[in-house]
């Protein structure tokens, strides 16, 4: 029959109705697109769906099977990022998230694997613990805690800088400010804020004096200078730390490469990539954790009880992790419940076919992680926060027969986030410390607007990553003993803290 009527191998996956020329430009929502993609997939009864935006073809994969078949098993075809002209203007292409596959890309991933891979990430356990103790001290000492996001970012930034360069000194705060600004700019680029240059590439060559476009070009070139300045600073900080024989990812790379590292531009970008690439995703997961604990006091109490039974009258350490499976399950459910990267985009480098459909060269392919997280066959009652789904019947061991969020939350194939084990370790340390010393609760019943915002669970895009749009929580030390632990284990202790910390992230 196919010889008579033709093969559907020439057909794109099904598509919802669109408009002439514009295609689905006005159909795809500006927020929470992943929900629209999943809903459309269900309506069309197909896990692959096609969208047209002007002259661009977008194909969305809405199942683990299709994503794995393409992104993992055909990495040579699906490892390229969609081109972003602003990344060229700003030199972000020198950092790992923006690189095209090739020798430099492979070498960069190798450096990260050797520095913070699964076997090496434990080298920095003390750094995670110090960062967690500093975080709980900061939270306890700021009763209003109006800048919850900034507090979390500061904690994350300190440990990323320490692990990448070995440095923790007077220049830390100024460097972290630059790193944080860079992270948000890079996220904007990945999130297509400057897509006008990709739609109309000739605009990248117009004079800086041209209104609207000129300032964007100027901004990109300013960030090019900033990027290289920040990278040079991290090299200098690493060299200072090496004099103290402090272990860090960059110092280990330099030792391995010897004098060749002096002219290696890629090695200079390690700290930049770690900070800019890991900040927003880790921030998102921490905010999700706080809200989940506030909304599910039964889960929080069970996790606290396990931490108490293992740690007694001390704070947790990374060595306790094997004995804290429920806390591990909470972390897994945090990563599943609110995806840190609901959609991940690639560009197809040659014509391909899957499940009877054509996937044309040059198309943008999006993996819908949100669809995986809401697959009821894999995760029953997917909208609910249920950490026990990752535990066996005894409740004392993590299941090996269930899909783990680490297998999809941080990407796929050759572009899987190389810092995922570092993020996993740091988040576990932060969560265990918070559980040990704080009760996390929702705002009072009288604050209806805040409670309504928490209940909405609306997710916003930070460009490359996504996070809950607004988080309102209340923190209180669990006991007088908890307050003592907070103060005696923090190098910045400045007196006893009590009362409540009202956290709001927006």
Annotated binding residues for heme, written as ranges, equal 417
Binding-site residues: 417
**353 φ/ψ angles, rounded to the nearest 5 degrees:** -140, 145
Quick check: 274 and 426 in contact, CB under 8 A?
no
User: Alpha-carbon distance 288 to 420, whole Å?
Assistant: 17
CA–centroid distance for 239 within its chain? 29
**455 φ/ψ angles, rounded to the nearest 5 degrees:** -70, -25
CA–centroid distance for 62 within its chain? 20
Radius of gyration of the chain (CA): 23
Q: Which two tokens stand for residue 171?
A: 């220049």
User: Alpha-carbon distance 161 to 275, whole Å?
Assistant: 7
User: Alpha-carbon distance 368 to 32, whole Å?
Assistant: 11
Handedness of CA 117, 422, 364, 45 (dihedral sign): positive
User: Alpha-carbon distance 98 to 103, whole Å?
Assistant: 14
User: Alpha-carbon distance 149 to 261, whole Å?
Assistant: 36
Would you give the DSSP letter of residue 318?
Answer: G
Residue 249: closest CA among 358, 415, 120:
120
User: Alpha-carbon distance 454 to 468, whole Å?
Assistant: 9
DSSP 210-226: STTHHHHHHHHHHHHHH
Quick check: 78 and 70 in contact, CB under 8 A?
yes
Quick check: 159 and 127 in contact, CB under 8 A?
yes
């Amino acid at each position: 029959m196919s010889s008579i009527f033709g093969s559907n191998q020439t057909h794109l996956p099904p598509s919802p109705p669109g408009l002439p020329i514009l295609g689905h430009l006005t159909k795809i929502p500006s927020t929470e697109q992943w929900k629209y993609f999943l809903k459309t997939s269900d309506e069309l009864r197909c896990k692959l769906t096609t969208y047209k935006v002007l002259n661009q073809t977008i194909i969305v994969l809405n199942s683990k099977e299709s994503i794995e078949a393409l992104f993992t098993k055909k990495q040579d075809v699906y490892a390229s990022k969609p081109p972003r002209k602003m990344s060229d203007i700003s030199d972000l292409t020198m950092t790992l998230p923006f690189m095209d596959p090739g020798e430099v890309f492979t070498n960069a991933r190798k450096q990260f694997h050797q520095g913070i891979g699964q076997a090496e990430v434990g080298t920095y356990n003390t750094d995670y613990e110090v960062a967690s103790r500093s975080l709980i001290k900061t939270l306890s000492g700021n009763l209003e805690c109006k800048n919850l996001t900034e507090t979390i970012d500061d904690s994350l930034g300190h440990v990323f800088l320490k692990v990448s360069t070995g440095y923790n000194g007077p220049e830390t705060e100024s460097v972290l400010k630059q790193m944080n600004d860079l992270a948000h700019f890079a996220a904007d680029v990945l999130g297509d804020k400057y897509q006008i240059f990709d739609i109309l590439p000739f605009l990248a060559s117009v004079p800086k004096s041209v209104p609207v476009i000129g300032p964007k070009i100027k901004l990109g070139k300013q960030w090019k200078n900033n990027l290289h300045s920040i990278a040079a600073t991290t090299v200098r900080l690493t060299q200072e730390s090496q004099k103290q024989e402090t272990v860090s990812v960059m110092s280990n790379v330099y030792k391995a490469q010897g004098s060749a590292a002096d002219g290696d531009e890629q090695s200079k970008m390690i700290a930049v990539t770690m900070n800019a690439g890991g900040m927003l995703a880790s921030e998102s997961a921490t905010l999700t954790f706080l809200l989940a604990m506030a909304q599910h006091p039964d889960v929080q109490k069970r996790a606290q009880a396990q931490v108490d039974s293992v740690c007694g009258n001390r704070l947790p350490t990374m060595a306790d992790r094997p004995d804290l499976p429920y806390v591990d399950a909470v972390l897994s459910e945090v990563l599943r419940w609110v995806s840190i990267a609901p959609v991940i985009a690639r560009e197809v480098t040659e014509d391909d076919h899957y499940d009877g459909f054509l996937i044309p060269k040059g198309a943008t392919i999006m993996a819908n992680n949100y669809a995986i997280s809401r697959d009821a066959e894999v995760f029953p009652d997917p909208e609910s926060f249920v950490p026990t789904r990752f535990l066996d019947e005894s409740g004392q061991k993590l299941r090996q027969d269930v899909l783990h969020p680490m297998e999809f939350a941080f990407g796929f194939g050759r572009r899987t986030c190389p810092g995922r084990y570092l993020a996993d370790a740091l988040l576990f340390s932060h969560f265990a410390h918070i559980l040990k010393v704080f009760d996390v609760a929702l705002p009072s019943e009288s604050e209806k607007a805040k409670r309504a915002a928490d209940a909405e669970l609306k997710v916003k895009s930070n460009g490359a990553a996504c996070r809950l749009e607004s988080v309102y929580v209340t923190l209180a030390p669990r006991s007088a003993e908890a307050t003592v632990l907070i103060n005696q284990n923090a190098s910045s202790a400045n007196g006893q803290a009590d009362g409540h910390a009202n956290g709001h992230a927006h």
